[in-house]
Amino acid sequence: MAEEMRIVLRNVGKIDPLKIEDYINAGGYKSLEKARGMDRGELIEEVKKSNLRGRGGAGFNCGMKWSFSYKLETDQKYVVCNADEGEPGTYKDRIIMMNDPQSLFEGMAICGYAIGSNKGYIYCRGEYPYVVEHLNKAIAQAKDKGVLGDFDIEVRMGAGAYVCGEESALIESIEGHRGEPRFKPPFPGVEGLWGKPTIVNNVETFANIPVILEKGAEWFKNIGAASYPGTKVLTLTGDVVNRTYFEVPTNVTIRDVVFGLGGGIVDNKKFKAVQIGGTSGGFIPEELLDTQIDFDSMSKIGAALGTGAVFVMDETRDIVDIVTRITKFFEHESCGKCNPCREGTKRMHEMVERINNGTGRVADMDLLENLGGVMSVACLCGLGQAAPAPVLTTLKHFKNEFNAKLN
C-alpha cells in the first residue's frame, strides 16, 4: 500500500506557522543562505537537474523556466507566486500557506536571488481572505528577522476569477486589469509583470525549493517517477472514505490513492469514476486505475495530474448530471476574450444540459466531440483548451450513460 512522503508538508503540525523561530529552528532559511553563497548559474542548474516540474498543472521544468529570466539584463525582474488555486476540489496551497508560509517565502527568495529579482508577489485567491491575513503576519515576521535580506514580498488578493490561475491573466490582475490571458509569446519569463521578466510558479513548486537545495538535486530526482520526480499533494473529495489531503511520491497508482490512502468508497459501494486534477481533468474509469499519477503517465491515458485534486464517484452517481454541472462552471468562468472559448463553453453546456434533461438529440453527441476537439486546439489559454476534457473523456468511457438519456 502507498505511504505518505512529506516534503512540502514536512513541517505541518510540527511548527507554529506564525512563529518564525520554529521554522528557523527546524532548519529554515539555511537553504536561502546556501543559495546566496552559490553562483546563480550553478544554482539554476541544480534546480534544473532536480527535474522539479511545475505543481500548478502545466508541469514545466522549474529550473528551465528560471533560466529564461536569469539570462536577461534589465532594471527589474519579478517573482510571482500563483496562489490562486481555483480548481474545484483543490485546497493544497491553502494547507501549505496556512501551515508553513515561511517555506514558501524561502522558495520565492531563492528564486529571486537566482534570477536577480528583489520583488515578489503572492497572488492569493479572493476566496481566502483569512489566508491573506495569515501571510501578511508571516511576512511581517520575516521582515523583522531580516531573513529575506533585500527581497520584498507583497500579497495581492484576487476577486473570484478562475481564469486568473492562468499565469498571464494573473499578471494582468496584479496590474489592476481585467484578468484576461495574454497572447503568448512573449512568455512571462521574458515579458511579464509590467513588461518585465517574471517567474510565475505555484505555491507547491516554491515550497519544494528549500528542500531541494538542502538535500540536493540528486536526492530529489530519485524520488517518485523519473520523468516527474518528487511528491504531489493530493486532495481527496467525493465518495471516498478519507476526504482529506495526502502527500505521496509521484509513482503511486491511482488505485493506491483511492483504495489505499483514500480508504476506498463510502458504504462499500462500487467505484464508478475518478476525476483527477480538478474540474478540468479527465474522467478515469476502473480499468485505468493502475496508472501512475505522474504527469506523463496521466497524459498518456488522456487524463491529467493537474493540481492533484482527486474527485471520486461511486456507482450511484449520474455522470451526465455531473458533467452538466462542470460545463456550466466553464461557461461561467470563461473570460470571453477568445471566441472558441466564449462560444464553445456556452454551446457545450447547452448541449450537455439538453442531453441531461432528456431533450438531447443523437446528433449532439457528434457535435460535442467535434466542438471539444476544436476547443482543445483553438482556445487562447489553458482554460478553454482543458474545458472539453471532462466531456470528451466521459463520451469515451461512459458513453452508455449519455445514450441512456437520449432514448
Partner 1 sequence: MSDYTTIIDSYKDKPGGIIEAYHALQKEYNYIPEDAITAAAEAFGMSPAQAYGVATFYSYFKVGPRGRYIIRICESAPCHVAGAEEVVSALESELGIKMGETTADGKFTLEFTECVGQCQATPIITINSKPYEDMSAEKIPAVLAEYK
Footprint of partner 1 (CB under 8 A): 85-91, 94, 125-130, 156-162, 173-179, 194, 235, 237-239, 243-245, 275, 279, 309, 311, 313, 317, 322, 325-326, 329, 332-333, 335
The DSSP code sequence of 268-336 is GPPEEEEEESSTTSPEEEGGGTTSB-SHHHHHHTT---TT-EEEEEETT--HHHHHHHHHHHHHHH--S
Task: Specify the residue, 127 or 214, whose C-beta has the smaller distance to partner 1.
Answer: 127
Which region holds residue 135: left if phi is over 0, alpha if psi is between -120 and 50, else beta?
alpha
Give least dist CB 9 to partner 1, A.
14
Q: What angle do CA 196, 51, 305 make, to 5 degrees?
A: 90
Give least dist CB 157 to partner 1, A.
6
Which helix (H) or strand (E) segment holds residue 369: the answer is: helix 362-378
The DSSP code sequence of 16-73 is -TT-HHHHHHTTTTHHHHHHHTS-HHHHHHHHHHHT-B-SSSS--BHHHHHHHHHT--
Task: Specify the residue, 227 or 244, whose C-beta has the smaller distance to partner 1.
Answer: 244
- The residue among 188, 186, 185 whose CA lies nearest residue 173 is 188
Give least dist CB 94 to partner 1, A.
5
Task: Specify the residue, 125 or 397, whose C-beta has the smaller distance to partner 1.
Answer: 125
Give least dist CB 118 to partner 1, A.
15
Task: Specify the residue, 211 or 276, whose C-beta has the smaller distance to partner 1.
Answer: 276
Of the CA atoms within 13 Å of residue 33, those in its CB half-sphere come to 7
Task: Specify the residue, 51 or 173, whose C-beta has the smaller distance to partner 1.
Answer: 173
**Sheet holding 198-202: strands in order across?**
152-157, 119-124, 78-83, 198-202
Give least dist CB 88 to partner 1, A.
3
Give least dist CB 322 to partner 1, A.
6
Task: Specify the residue, 76 or 141, whose C-beta has the smaller distance to partner 1.
Answer: 76
